[in-house]
């Protein structure tokens, strides 16, 4: 009987450890997802800034050529 109780305790510890590992894995996946989203956001922002710079440069060129008339 004592052997079954010990086995039950061991199984409970294994179950608790399994749950902890799953939670830790979920947190790690969330961190990875957050990091990937941050990277994607930064990439998109860089693209928008590049377009602004290009548009500003084009506008400056247009204004310079217009003012020479």
More confident residue, 40 or 55: 40
pLDDT in tens, 4-50: 899 999 999 999 999 998 988 898 998 999 999 999 999 999 999 99
What is the per-residue pLDDT for 63? Answer: 81
Q: Can you tell me the distance from the alpha carbon of 55 to that of 39, in angstroms, rounded to the nearest whole number?
A: 24
Query: What angle (nearest 5°) sits at the alpha carbon of residue 21, between those of residues 19 and 22?
Result: 65
């Amino acid at each position: 009987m004592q052997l079954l109780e010990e086995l039950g305790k061991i199984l409970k510890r294994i179950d608790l450890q399994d749950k902890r590992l799953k939670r830790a894995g979920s947190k790690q996946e969330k961190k990875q997802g957050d990091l990937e989203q941050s990277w994607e956001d930064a990439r998109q922002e860089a693209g928008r800034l590049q377009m602004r710079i290009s548009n500003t440069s084009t506008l400056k060129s247009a204004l310079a050529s217009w003012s020479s008339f």
